[in-house]
Amino acid sequence: MNIIEATLVGVVQGVSEWLPISSKTQIMFAAMYITGAPPAFAYSLGLFLEAASVLAALLYFRSVYLKILRGLLGDVEGRRWLTYVAITTLVTAAVGVPLYLVARQALAGGAAGWLMTALGVAIVGNAVALRRAHSASGLKSFSQMTLRDMAIVGLAQALSVLPGVSRSGATTSVLLLLGYAPAEAFKASFVLVPVAGLGAATLAYLAEGSAVVTTESLIAMAVGVVVSLVTIEALLKFARSRQVFLVNLTVGALAIAGGLLYVLGR
């Protein structure tokens, strides 16, 4: 991988991480077709570059992470965020690590792509339901999130270790289906990136060692951070718009496209 290829991979990472398409899968395909990397290594590279998303999330949502730290000292809102991160992380670790070990060997077949497609279809159906209701006043905020909902989000995040399943797509889709407002769903999904991303990058490093830590991969990571910051801002602005139907429809359509692209690309 040369500098130009690394830059292209970084752009793919910086955009796809935050969309309902699998960033690790897009990077896997990019690495395979641009650099000729074998599928297993390209898959691990996609996971390793999740570190770029970690840095971007820490920078953009620094106020939320400061609240989480204050939660350790008794801050009510911070404690809710802390509980959310803790529960989703525990569920993700319990389910996601075994799935990763299986996925790396079998690359999950085409079933994972169909799973992402099914999620997209459900979100499109949700968009239609919202359109018919003509109101978004009943949508929930993060302050209303229950322990059950947190566990479901953790399960959705665990499924994202499978090639073809987007972490942001799975978690955002589930939050939308659980009845949360789009802006709340996007934010709650994106805040989980550091924990999930660090876990993914660590798994990739343990599997491949220093082979994934090269000058070119670090360039790709730096580009990914910059592109991620721009992408997050644009998506949150879109999610905060009054077009709840359009946000749901867009998320669903992208999820369907991402899942089908993975299935057809195999």
Residues of the chain predicted below pLDDT 70: 22-25, 103-116, 126, 128-138, 163-164, 242, 244, 262-263, 265-266
pLDDT of residue 82: 94
pLDDT at 132: 59
Q: Which residues contact 157 (CB under 8 A, 6 or more apart)?
A: 88, 91, 92, 96, 167, 170, 171, 192, 196
- Distance, C-alpha 235 to centroid of its chain: 13
Q: Which pLDDT tens digit goes with each residue over 20-59?
A: 776 666 777 777 777 777 777 777 777 788 888 899 999 9
Report the alpha-carbon distance of residue 228 to residue 49 in Å, rounded.
12
Distance CA 155, CA 90 (A): 9
Inter-helix orientation angle 76-106/147-159, to 10°:
30
pLDDT value of residue 24: 66
pLDDT of residue 56: 93
Burial (CB count <10 Å: 0-12, 13-18, 19+), residue 122: middle
pLDDT of residue 40: 74
Q: What was the pLDDT predicted at 146?
A: 94
